[in-house]
Amino acid sequence: MTFQKYSQDNKTFPTLVLIGTFILFAAFFISFEQMYMLVMLAILVMLLYGMSVFYEKHVDDYLSIEFPRANIRHYQGDQGELEVTIEQKGILPLFNAMLIVEMDDIVHFEGGRHVRRRYATTFHQAFNLMFWEKRTFKIPYSTEKRGVARIHHVEIKAPNMFGFGSIFMRSLTRFKQEIIVYPKKSAVANIDLMAPKRMGYHRANHSLFDDHTLPVGTRDYESGDAFNRIHWKASAKEGNLQTKDFEKASQISWCFLVNIHDEYGRGVHENIEQLLEKTAYMMHYATTHQIPYRLFVNVSSIDQIPFMHLLEGEGQKHYQRSLELLARLKLLTFTAKYERLLHFVDKHESPPAYIIHVGHVKASQLANLKRLERKGSALYFLNEEGIHKTYQGEVAMHG
């Protein structure tokens, strides 16, 4: 393991070394009895200095720091522990040492210090480590907000065993440790407006449509049943007309379109975190009701699709990927115009049953959303108050 190392010397020790050198030189000009004691004293001082230099140079040769768990996942407001292991495989111990860990302020270390200037939180742990010893420390923390906390600084401060100064050893290793904090789920009013809309492939308990590829049995003929649905073999066997019964199906796919910009299109929406919490709630609702969904956010991406996105899917794994994307969403980064995102969805995405716009929308953007609506999708708007069929600022836009 590689460390960037520097020392903070005490001025007393170099002074003693200088005095010892002078004594050793002067001993040759005085009597033997006095010279013997002076030489021994000078040699002792020089020996301590040499051992001090050796300790400083080699104390980290076999020293290692590890974080056993690569990724830790939490919801906002959870409690957890960060494990860090320090091992000395060499013969040089550490006494009265101090471990310093700095992470993003997505988490808050219990008993730590918040550095607002760097958006960081730091923790200090005193410890002793003998030679060939391995110790594991658990640092308690709480998750303060949505995001990903990474380790930016790990350092060990230790006094020099044979000197009067301190040694600072900063790890140059890029640790893969991450604490991923999912947004909390904030309930959405009027979510019951999202009902099945038209024929498709999503199975449902109650629907106006049948999937003719999924027969589930037969039932007695009822007035109004289509002639082509009569099961003739079952009718002959039962002695009365039988009708084929099919799996109910409906297309209830959702598409979330998130605009993180404010009403002027320059900054970030002031309540974007609250809107992301409501989006997480709707994704959880979709997962529990087996509704497939996709997500687009106007934050730039280096992928083939130039926006942060999640392709259509359903189930628990898809939901976990959704939370991961929301957690990793950096708002103070490169963004794209929302019009570009809408144009991309219009040209490259199949029309979903429901389009759910999240955030502010300008008149030009609303026109693009209406064009998507004319292709067969139902358009809804999600704001701090819940889900709505019309955008609250739409009346003001048109005067």
Same domain, 240 and 331: no
Same domain, 222 and 296: no
Same domain, 170 and 304: no
Same domain, 96 and 50: no
Q: How does pLDDT run across 47-88, given as a tens digit for each residue?
A: 877 788 889 899 999 999 999 988 999 999 999 999 999 999
Specify if 195 maps to a domain. no
Same domain, 88 and 13: no
Same domain, 247 and 273: no
Same domain, 278 and 219: no
Does 199 score more than 80 pLDDT? no
Same domain, 393 and 258: yes
318 vs 240, higher pLDDT: 318
Residues 337, 20: Cα–Cα separation, whole Å = 72
Same domain, 129 and 171: yes
119 vs 181, higher pLDDT: 181
Residues 365, 335: Cα–Cα separation, whole Å = 16
Residues 57, 26: Cα–Cα separation, whole Å = 31
Choosing from 37, 58, 79, the residue where a domain stops is 58
Kindly report which listed range (167-181, 186-200, 316-330) carries the lowest average pLDDT score: 186-200
Q: Which of these, 308, 293, 383, lies nearest to 338 by C-alpha position? A: 308
Specify if 1 maps to a domain. no
pTM of the model: 0.77
- Quick one: residue 294, left, alpha or beta (phi over 0 = left, psi -120 to 50 = alpha)? beta
CB contact at 8 A, 379 and 182: no
Same domain, 274 and 300: yes
Q: Residue 335 sits in which domain range?
A: 252-397
Tell me how far CA of residue 294 lies from CA of 132, 297, 306, 318, 334, in angstroms: 53, 11, 15, 10, 22
CB contact at 8 A, 88 and 62: yes
Tell me the pLDDT of the chain averaged across its residues.
83
Same domain, 49 and 77: no
Same domain, 247 and 257: no
Specify if 20 maps to a domain. yes
209 vs 332, higher pLDDT: 332
Specify if 196 maps to a domain. no
Q: What is the mean pLDDT of residues 331-338?
A: 85
The pairs formed by 299-303 with CB atoms below 8 angstroms and a separation of 24 or more are 299/260, 299/329, 299/330, 299/331, 299/333, 299/334, 299/335, 299/336, 300/333, 300/334, 300/335, 300/336
Token pair listed for 24:
């050793």
Number of compact structural domains in the chain: 4
Specify if 128 maps to a domain. yes
**One-letter identity of residue 36:** Y
The pLDDT value given to residue 193: 78
**One-letter identity of residue 314:** E
Residue 192 — very low, low, confident or very high, per pLDDT cuts 50/70/90?
confident
